[in-house]
Amino acid sequence: MIFDRPTNIELISAVIDFLDLEIKEELPPHLAFKLRIVTNVLKIVQREIDLGDTLSKDAQDLIKEVIESTQEPSLIEFASSIKEGNIDLDKESLRKALIGITKSKISVDNPNYSTFKKLVE
C-alpha cells in the first residue's frame, strides 16, 4: 500500500466523529435523523473495507462445497444453481453455505441486528 496514514478506515472514523460531535447538535430533528443514517452508512463502509475480502473468500470456499465449478465460483453461479433446481434443498453443504454467507453479510451491514446477535451468542 503506497498511501500514508490516516488509513481509509481512520479517515472515515474522523468523518464520523466530526458529524457526531460537531454537526449533530446543530441540526433540526428531521436532519439529525438523517445524519444517523449517514453515520451508519459510513460504518458499513468501514466494516466492508476491514472484513470484505476475508468474508468474500470464506463465501467462495463455502460455495465450492456445494457446486462443482472449474474456477472460483461466484454468488451469481451459486444463486442460479439453486434457482435451476440443481441442488437438493436438504443438502447439508447448501445449508452451511447459506448460513455462513448470510451471517457474513449481516456482520458488515448491521452487526446489531437482533437475529444476528441471537445467532452469534
Partner 1 sequence: MNEDLSILLSAGLSKQGINGSIENLEPLTGGASKETWKFNLVNSSKSSRMIFRRGSGAESSLAIRTSDEAKIQEEVLKKGVPVPEIVLVSNSNNDLGNSYVMKFIEGETIARKILRDECYKSALPLLAHQCGEAIAKIHNTPLKNLQFLPKKSPIQLIEDLYLLYESYKQPSPVFEYAYRWLKEQNYGNFEDSLVHGDFRLGNILVNENGLTGIIDWELAHIGNPIQDLGWICGNSWRFGNSKKVVGGFGDIEDLIKGYNGISNEKINAELIKTWQVFGTFRWGVICLMQAYAHLNGSVNSIEKAAIGRRVSETEIDIVDLLLLGGD
Closest approach of partner 1 to the CB of residue 37, in Å? 5
Residue 115 touches partner 1, criterion: CB under 8 A: yes
Residue 32 touches partner 1, criterion: CB under 8 A: no
Q: Which long-range contacts (CB under 8 A, 24 or more apart) does 110-113 make?
A: 110/44, 111/47
Q: Which is nearer to partner 1, 1 or 37 (CB)?
A: 37
Residue 13 touches partner 1, criterion: CB under 8 A: no
Q: Which is nearer to partner 1, 15 or 99 (CB)?
A: 99
Residue 50 touches partner 1, criterion: CB under 8 A: no
70-99 mask for partner 1 (x: CB under 8 A)?
A: -----xx-xxx-xx-x---x----xx-xxx
Interacting residue with partner 1 among 3, 5, 37, 70 (CB under 8 A): 37
CB 24 within 8 A of CB 32: yes
